[in-house]
Amino acid sequence: MAAFLSSLLASSVLLSNAVNAQNFDGNGRSDDAFSYVQPLNTTILTEYGSSPAVYPSPNITGVGGWEAALQKAKAFVAQLTTEEKADMVTGQAGPCVGNIVAIPRLNFSGLCLQDGPLAIRVADFASVFAAGVSTGASWDKALMYERGLAMGQEFKGKGAHVVLGPVSGPLGRSAYAGRNWEGFSSDPYLSGIAMEQTITGHQAAGVQACAKHWVGNEQETQRNPTYVNMTNEKTFNAVSANIDDRTMHELYMWPFANAVKAKAAAFMCSYQRINGSEISYGCQNSKSQNGLLKTELGFQGYVMSDWGATHTGVAAIEAGLDMNMPGGMGPYGLQFGVPSYFGGNITIGVNNGSLAVSRVDDMVIRIMTPYFWLNQDQNYPSIDPSGADLNTFSPRSTWTRNFTLSGERSRDVRSNHAELIRRHGAAGAVLLKNVNGSLPLKAPTNIAVFGNDAGEPTQSSVLNQVDYEYGTLSSGGGSGTGQFSYLVTPLQALQSRAQQDGGLVHYWLNNTLIANGDISTLLIPRSQPDVCIVMLKTWAEEAADRAHLSVDWDGNDVVESVASYCTNTVVVTHSSGVNTLPWSDHPNITAILAAHYPGQENGNSLADLLYGDVNPSGHLPYTIAMNGTDYNAPPTTAINTTGFNDWQSWFDEKLEIDYRYFDAHNITVRYEFGFGLSYTTFNIANLSISALASNITSYPEAQPVQPGGNPALWDSIYAASVSVTNSGKVTGAAVPQLYVGLPSSAPAGTPVRQLRGFEKVYLAPGETQTATFELMRRDLSYWDIISQQWVIPEGKFTIYVGFSSRDLVVQDTVTVVG
């Protein structure tokens, strides 16, 4: 979602007929993949053709365990007036980032929706957890759940009913996209597991999860239309994500299917258009909402709009949108100045017959069923009044409805979460290089620290929503950030360790000075330090894509400058994700640690790793290429035509994103997807593969849809196991990864191999354990655009298990069908 931003619209009248949200299924375009200017090709627009609109919007059935809650929701809705129904589906300015008003006569105290994917953002005395990218880099299912649960407890403690997270859109089509770090990985399988674990954790705590942003939200640039002078007049429409049907299923829908399977209460539809037509916005696209989400995946919850992503009333409702957030909000800068497309228009539409009351009832029932399922009607904590004071998005002056706030103010919901955040921050760091026995540190007494990421943010602790020069980074910006109640810096943690060892820490935080200075003349004492630690950072935020893939603030020059003198240079990055690290082979750079966005225990998580109290076990959830220009699929950042709808982003790389692209074209990379070092060594042996079902057919048995789609897709049909041994001298965690290569009978464009299993295995020195991977039907299938089914191809599958996407230790083949 987007509490900052954005552009919106507010004009034309809504009570039109349902608009046919056209969809296209596409094929490729062949101009330069590195061009940031993607010209409109009207030939291709036509060739993409349209697919049928999908109406009406399906009713909830409660299938999959929500049946009892559904009955309560129906009984609730039966008591509502039309005005109350309109209130139930329309946000209002209020104490939370999103608010549904109370209906006191029915004991319904309203809904409070809060950002976001790594913290309850608008809050005091709350924790800032490790970001999505760190969580993905942990490759640790138990950690993902533990984090989701702890976050859920904090949201509930503050009286928030809905967490606006987790994120798997963007997935990470482009390394440059501004919000990739809010999600987990550019691999849909890894991202899907993380979605499932996070949602299960959130909802075990009693809060609703909201999977976002559905779907194709792969860039920030032009995600909304361009408005003239904060009026409703638009000069350019929002960008259109043009995605063919197979790619939609195998990449962008995939992790969201896990979210539905995990019974996510809510989905948030995205800003941009999907597949071309003028009005095919994410929140009024009948194919994506009625078709893919509610019919194919069997989603039983409600779809809320991203903040300001609603562009019509009836048309959006009939296309499957269930809740308008944040309610009335005008174009950028005119927040809450404009009536909602929903609200009073719902009442008018129902009364004059242009909007079926059964559809409105379904919207409310979908909203209330997860509420009852999670027992949110029973003793739910009140909204912490302090949140209302901190809410700059809808401050009290904007409220037009009654919100009575009660209960303890400024509740401390942090519990013992600092301890787990410290672990999670360390688990999300990836050791990329470690030579000459550089790490772990062995009680060094002369430590030199360089770089503007080492110290305190110099201006304020309330700087987490902007980029700043001096101070460590623990999170990116936008609605996905958090408010730090404290922040442990790298310098603080390193100084306290050095003190224990009777050592000294001398430091330089000014990147300009370091990059231009002679390091040897800065040092005190003027001798080779035992270790030089270079702390660098890379910012990313909502509403902007990254301009480059380097570290920020002349970081590359800082590294070169330090490494030209220090023979034991350790480089640490706090970063949103991909950095190209052109100096990685420098002989004086002995270690590189990609520490991502670790959350509030930043320095402690880092010191634990550098000193070997924690053995690094993170692995890259994306690929680090040799050069920024090696990446395909850049965001579309400019157009050179003037047509209203000309912002088009063609996903014509299809399935070839990240390692699928580099592997398909045999491109050498710096550090491949799945890569990560440890202070110990591991072996993998004894791959064994066995069928868990007999007579496996190509097509799944057609079973009634459950949340997640045809349940047959989720049946485990094969199992693979390997033995994993710690062959080194210290305890550590290995991450054996299973990749599947489909037979050659699979359609053209099938990736060489794809991640389909992983486990995190903790091992003492000399210990061996068996890691088992269950392969579900979906894991062994491709999406067939003709039959509109997941199909297992005939022929030999290759199963690989290794330590990364290019370190494949064991492999075997198997024929699945028959």
Ligand X SMILES: *[C@@H]1O[C@H](CO)[C@@H](O)[C@H](O)[C@H]1NC(C)=O
Q: Where does this chain bind ligand X (CB under 6 A)?
A: 10, 14, 31, 35, 37, 39, 41, 43-44, 56, 58-59, 106-107, 228-229, 338-339, 341, 343-345, 348, 358, 362, 401-402, 510, 512-513, 563-565, 567, 582, 587-588, 627, 629, 640-641, 665-666, 694-695
Cα(155)–Cα(321) distance, integer angstroms: 25
**Minimum CB distance to ligand X, residue 758 (Å):** 24
Q: How far apart are CB 491 and ligand X at their closest, in Å?
A: 16
Is the Cβ of residue 171 or residue 303 nearer to ligand X in the bound state? 303
Contact criterion met (CB below 8 Å) for 325 and 112: no
Least distance (Å) from ligand X to the CB of residue 582? 5
Helix (H, G, I), strand (E, B) or coil at 37: strand
CA pair distance 785, 655, nearest whole angstrom? 14
Among 306, 384, 554, 784, the active-site one is 306
Strands 754-758 and 761-763: unpaired
Give me the least distance between CB of 295 and ligand X, in Å please. Answer: 10
Least Å distance, CB 589 to ligand X, is: 9
Q: CA–CA distance from 661 to each of 174, 359, 654, 747 (Å)?
A: 11, 43, 9, 16
Give the residue with the Cβ less far from ligand X, 44 or 122. 44
Q: What ranges make up the beta strands (E) of 143-227?
A: 162-163, 208-214, 226-227
Backbone angles phi, psi at 23, to 5 degrees: -130, 155
At 664, give phi and psi (nearest 5°).
-65, -30
**Both structure tokens of 709:** 């789609």
**3-state SS class at 101:** coil
Helix (H) or strand (E) holding 302: strand 302-305
Q: Which is nearer to ligand X, 587 or 766 (CB)?
A: 587
Q: Closer to ligand X at the Cβ: 107 or 416?
A: 107
Cis status, amide bond into 331, omega within 30 of 0: no
Nearer to ligand X, 34 or 486 (CB): 34
Q: In terms of C-beta density within 10 A (0-12 exposed, 13-18 middle, 19 or more buried), how is residue 339 classed?
A: middle
> Cα dihedral angle (85, 86, 89, 92), rounded to 10 degrees?
-130
CB 569 within 8 A of CB 210: no
Q: How far apart, in Å, do the first and last CA atoms of the chain sit?
A: 46
Minimum CB separation from ligand X for residue 202, in Å?
A: 27
**Cβ nearer to ligand X, comparing 39 with 525:** 39
Helix (H) or strand (E) holding 78: helix 67-78
Could you list the beta-strand ranges (E) of 84-233.
Answer: 98-100, 111-114, 162-163, 208-214, 226-227
> 332: exposed, middle or buried (C-beta count within 10 Å: 0-12, 13-18, 19+)?
middle
**Least Å distance between CB 731 and ligand X?**
33
Please check whether residue 383 is in contact with residue 160, taking contact to mean a CB–CB distance below 8 angstroms. Answer: yes
Q: Which residues contact 243 (CB under 8 A, 6 or more apart)?
A: 26, 216, 252, 274, 275, 651
- What size, in residues, is the chain? 818
Active site annotation includes 306: yes
Of 87 and 196, which has the nearer Cβ to ligand X?
Answer: 87
Which helix (H) or strand (E) element contains residue 255? helix 254-261
Of 591, 579, 577, 693, which Cα lies nearest the Cα of 627?
Answer: 579
* Beta carbon of residue 63, minimum distance to ligand X (angstroms, whole number): 14
Residue nearest to ligand X (CB): 344
The sign of the dihedral angle between the CA atoms of 116, 118, 122, 127 is positive
**Which of 4/468 has CB closer to ligand X?**
468
CB of 167 to ligand X, least distance (A): 28
Nearer to ligand X (CB atom), residue 74 or residue 141:
74
* Active site residues per annotation: 306
